[in-house]
Amino acid sequence: MEKRFRTKSEMLAWFMKGSVPYFALSVFFTLLVSLLDMINPRIISFTVDSVIGDMPPEEGSLILRFVNLVGGMDAVKNQLFLIAVLVITIALARAAARYFWKYFNAKGAETFMERTRNIVFHHLMELPSQWHSEHHTGDIIQRCTSDMETIKMFLSEQLSSLFRIIPMIILAFAFMYHIHPRLMLYAFLFLPVIGGYSLYFHQKIGSAFRTADEEEGKLSAIAQENLTGVRVVRAFGKEQYEKSRFEAKNETYTSYWINLMKLMASFWCSGDVLTGAQILILTSLGAVYCVHGQLTAGEFIAFLTYNTMMIWPVRMLGRIIANLSKAGVSISRLMEIMNAEPERDEEDAVCPDLSGDIVFDHVSYTFENGNNPVIEDVNFTVKAGTTVGILGGTGSGKSTLMYLLARLYPLKEKEGSITISGVDIRHMKAKYLRRNIGMVLQEPYLFSRTLEENIRIASRESDFEAVEEAARIASLDEAVERFEDGFETFVGERGVTLSGGQKQRAAIAQMLVRKPPVMVFDDSLSAVDAETDAKIRAALAENTAGSTVILIAHRITTLMHADEIFVMDDGRITEHGSHGELLAKNGMYRKIYDLQMAGLEEEG
């Protein structure tokens, strides 16, 4: 479901749907833990003052009710193990409450993560190709892993603890006030100081964490590029260069984290000094009050216990404020993904028959951040059921035409139009359009699956016979026969276990198994030899009758049997006609033909 978010809290609430009941139960049990934590100091105070000492117990207290229940003060003084039984019972109850707190907290956190991953991944799949080309894959992965984990940790460890910390602080101060109001006031005076320095570090830590987080994304991008392109790096002997590049970026990233750790160390050290000073002052004042008879020994022990119990929540409160900066940065980075405009169809988008003519009408195209048009005023028609060839050098714009045809690049209203069967592709449903336009790229992407799974990836309903037939047409069958596991051969990441020609033929088979009405071969025979090229073209001509075929190539032998050939240069169509007509024109096509034929003769 598509949704745009105005605030971080709005997005967080959306992600938390389904996990709120678990977090609510977690809060209930953490409150129970806090309440049970408050009881033991009162038991210790009662034991020291009234059981071991001679001070009369406070009337109406819960502890006195327990004493009366087990036989009165004399019974308790003669059987001190009853106090131990009470302490152990409370400890067991606290352990059970803590277990359920942790269980429901973990359940809520993982439910949150599952929903968040699904939503973000689904949204990423809906974003246009242009968005993906503008963002490094490593940075996207880092946002979907490290940033999500930061948010989860904040929700499950810091934010959930907040519901325990605040009641604990309130209860601790209430008990401390009941014991000695003035001493409680001295303890309270330190809170604004702790809160003030926490807010000061909050801003600094947030800024430092954002910088470090962004640098981590850049480092991940370099690692991802090198791991996926390791064969290219080795082929050009660039290992040392890439190592140096990685080390330089890693050094920068490390320096930012060291700076962040310095801030964190300053934050925690200053907190240690403040809390240490507070304990020292309260201990000294409490001892004075005890000497003057204003505080009993049991009350003094209970007061210091409550103060110690309060210090940890106050320190945690500071830590939560500090980690709020980190979580805020991570939420912002995820929000950038979620608020990126997804690819949309028009409200009345149609799914017409795509077996008709393809018409490029005054098509021009300039990249979003570019100044010069890649395609400029291109006009041509591909007749239904014919084979058309497009020839051009690198950067001539021939591949861009096909990306525009499949709406992988958005064509604006003022940039002309592309129609199939008389219907503008902008008025069609994008998924339907792409299902019916089969594209084979020069550098096909194969997944880490078996060869059969890769061929069937776009047509799950196809049976094994269809896979075999597609492999035969693509001239992949002979290679498969040599593989020990045949079609069950595992293809490594990006098809690393296959040769360039085998990858291209696997991609052709992948497209053929779908049998789309429009087939585009974008220089997809460049890695095969001339003999295999001719064999594949002959098989395609025989088995793709009725389909419209567009061949993009540098090699004229791949295009020479096409019904019509268009020659592109610098974003424009400079020549068009059949192979014989273009040779007779004595233009660019003829020059390329003569050069390539001369090269073939030399090789022969």
- Among 153-167, 401-415, 485-499, which is the least confidently predicted range? 485-499
E strand residue ranges, 309-453: 358-365, 375-382, 387-392, 417-420, 423-424, 437-440
Average pLDDT over residues 462-489: 84
* For the ranges 198-207, 262-271, 569-578, the one whose mean pLDDT is highest: 569-578
The residues spanned by each domain of the chain are: 8-338, 352-436+553-604
* Fold classified for 8-338: ABC transporter transmembrane region fold (1.20.1560)
Task: Please write down the long-range contacts of 279-288, taking CB distance under 8 Å and 24 or more positions apart.
Answer: 279/304, 279/307, 279/308, 279/311, 281/186, 282/183, 282/186, 282/187, 282/307, 285/183, 285/186, 286/180, 286/183
Q: Could you count the other beta carbons within 10 Å of the beta carbon of residue 371? A: 6
- Among 98-102, 272-276, 527-531, 586-590, which is the least confidently predicted range? 527-531
475 token code pair: 């001239």
Q: Are the CB atoms for 522 and 502 separated by under 8 Å?
A: no
For residue 167, the model assigns a pLDDT of 80
Report helix, strand or coil for 599: helix
Say whether pLDDT at 309 is over 80.
no
For residue 494, the model assigns a pLDDT of 61
* For the ranges 65-74, 235-244, 322-331, 387-396, the one whose mean pLDDT is highest: 387-396
Q: How confident is the model at residue 495 (pLDDT cuts 50, 70, 90)?
A: low
* For the ranges 44-58, 314-328, 334-348, the one whose mean pLDDT is highest: 334-348
Q: How confident is the model at residue 76 (pLDDT cuts 50, 70, 90)?
A: low
Q: How confident is the model at residue 393 (pLDDT cuts 50, 70, 90)?
A: confident
For residue 330, the model assigns a pLDDT of 87
Give pLDDT tens digits for 349-360.
899 988 899 999
Say whether pLDDT at 449 is over 70.
yes
Say whether pLDDT at 539 is over 90.
no
Average pLDDT over residues 569-587: 89
- Among 268-272, 371-375, 519-523, 579-583, which is the least confidently predicted range? 268-272
* The domain defined by 352-436+553-604 carries CATH number 3.40.50.970: no
Q: Tally the C-alpha atoms within 13 A of residue 292's C-alpha that lie toward its C-beta.
A: 7
Q: Give buried/exposed letters for 41-67 (b at 16+ CB in 10 A, else e).
A: bbbbbbbbbbbeeebebeeeeebbebb
DSSP H or E stretch at residue 478: helix 477-482
What distance in Å separates the CA atoms of residue 146 and residue 151, rounded to the nearest whole number? 9
For residue 490, the model assigns a pLDDT of 82
**Average per-residue pLDDT in the chain?**
82
Q: How confident is the model at residue 75 (pLDDT cuts 50, 70, 90)?
A: low
For residue 561, the model assigns a pLDDT of 85
Give pLDDT tens digits for 18-73.
899 999 999 899 888 888 887 777 777 767 766 676 666 666 556 666 666 666 66
Say whether pLDDT at 370 is over 90.
no
What distance in Å separates the CA atoms of residue 301 and residue 172, rounded to the nearest whole number? 13
Give pLDDT tens digits for 278-291.
888 888 888 888 88
Find the DSSP H helices in 419-476. 430-435, 451-455, 464-473
What distance in Å separates the CA atoms of residue 261 and residue 474, rounded to the nearest whole number? 57
Say whether pLDDT at 547 is over 90.
no
Give pLDDT tens digits for 191-213.
777 767 766 776 677 678 777 87
Q: How confident is the model at residue 596 (pLDDT cuts 50, 70, 90)?
A: confident
